[in-house]
Chains A and B, each alone.
Chain A
Amino acid sequence: MIELKDVSKTFTLHNQGSAVIEVISNVSFHVAPGECVALTGASGAGKSTLMRMIYGNYLTQSGSICIDDVDIVQAEPREIIALRREVLGYVSQFLRVVPRVPTLDVVADPLRALGVPAEDAQNRARELLSQLNIPERLWSLSPTTFSGGEQQRVNIARGFAHAYPAMLLDEPTASLDATNREVVLSLIEEAKARGAAIIGIFHDEAARARVCDREIDVSAFTPGLSSSSEAVGQKKETAA
Chain B
Amino acid sequence: MTPLLSVNGVTKRYGAHIGCADVSFELYPGEVMGVVGESGSGKSTLLNCMAGHLTPDAGQVIFDTRTDGPRDTLTMSEPERRMLGRTDWAFVHQHARDGLRMGVSAGGNVGERLMAVGERHYGDIRGKATDWLERVEIASNRVDDRPTTFSGGMQQRLQIARNLVTGPRLVFMDEPTGGLDVSVQARLLDLLRGLVRDMGLSAIIVTHDLAVVRLLADRLMVMKNGHVVEAGLTDQVLDDPQHAYSQLLVSSVLQV
Contacts and interface: CB of A to CB of B under 8 A. Distances in A.
Interface of A: 11-15, 52, 56-59, 77-78, 80-81, 96, 98-101, 112-113
Interface of B is mostly: helix
A23 B125 CA distance: 60
B202 to A, nearest CB: 11
Interface of B: 28, 31, 186-187, 189-190, 193, 197, 214-215, 218-219, 232-233, 235-236, 239-240, 242-244, 247-248, 251
A59 B197 CA distance: 27
B239 A78 contact: no
B215 A98 contact: yes
For the complex of A and B, 4 pairs with smallest distance between CB atoms = A14-B244, A99-B186, A58-B240, A77-B233
A11 B232 CA distance: 17
B92 to A, nearest CB: 18
Given A15-B244, A100-B186, A100-B190, A58 B239 contact: yes
B253 to A, nearest CB: 14
B240 A57 contact: yes
Nearest to A81: B218
A80 B247 CA distance: 22
Given A81-B218, A99-B190, A56 B242 contact: no
Contacts of B215: 98
B240 A15 contact: no
Given A81-B218, A98-B190, A100-B187, A12 B197 contact: no
Nearest to A75: B233
Given A15-B248, A56-B233, A78 B186 contact: no
Given A11-B240, A80-B233, 19 more contacts: A14-B243, A14-B248, A52-B239, A52-B240, A56-B233, A57-B235, A57-B236, A57-B239, A59-B232, A59-B240, A77-B233, A78-B28, A81-B233, A98-B186, A98-B193, A98-B215, A99-B186, A99-B190, A100-B190
Nearest to B33: A77
A57 B214 CA distance: 12
A12 B28 CA distance: 31
